[in-house]
Structure 1
């Protein structure tokens, strides 16, 4: 797995992954991360997300939601980011440095 995807999943791992439905702030941040990876030309796959979720012990529902968003974004489908400001410039810089 590319380092940039690994770093994005580290950011997601810092969220409350023990719930089946992500908090709205975490949802917006996660979608922003996944969309940005796609823009960088390194989309995260559902398999990447599922493997990390299993490894880290994320809630199954949480993992399935995030994997579904990753799949939608990687295949060119649209996701709605309700609060894009939660995906910070710090995160963008950290990810851009790894490409």
Structure 2
């Protein structure tokens, strides 16, 4: 798996993955990150999310939602970010460094 994908999944690992619904701020952070990765021409795949979630004990509902959002963004679909700004410049910088 590319270093960029590993780092993105690491950010998701730091969320509350044991709940079926992502916290609203985590949801926004994830959606912004998925958009950012797509803008870098390196979208994260739903399969990578499902695989990583299964290997790391994420709640199946949480994994399903993350995979759906990632797939929607990667395919050019629209997702609503209700709380923008939680995907920090620091996170963006770290992800860019993995290219």
| 1:7-54 C-alpha deviation (Å, 9 max, x unpaired) | 011001001000000000000011111111111110011101001101
Q: Which blocks of at least 5 consecutive residues in structure 1 are unaligned?
A: none
Alignment map for 1:12-23 (pairs within 5 Å): 12-23=12-23
What is the alpha-carbon distance in structure 2 between the residues aligned to residue 2 and residue 70 of structure 1?
A: 16
Q: Which blocks of at least 5 consecutive residues in structure 2 are unaligned?
A: none
Q: TM-score, normalised by structure 1?
A: 0.97
Alignment map for 1:14-93 (pairs within 5 Å): 14-93=14-93
Name the count of aligned residue pairs: 99
Moved over 3 A (4+): none
What is the alpha-carbon distance in structure 2 between the residues aligned to residue 34 and residue 10 of structure 1?
A: 13
What is the alpha-carbon distance in structure 1 between the residues aligned to residue 92 and residue 64 of structure 2?
A: 24
Find the counterpart in structure 1 of residue 7 from structure 2: 7
**What's the offset of the Cα at 1:83?**
1.2
More helix by share: 1
What is the alpha-carbon distance in structure 1 between the residues aligned to residue 97 and residue 42 of structure 2?
A: 13
Q: TM-score, normalised by structure 2?
A: 0.97
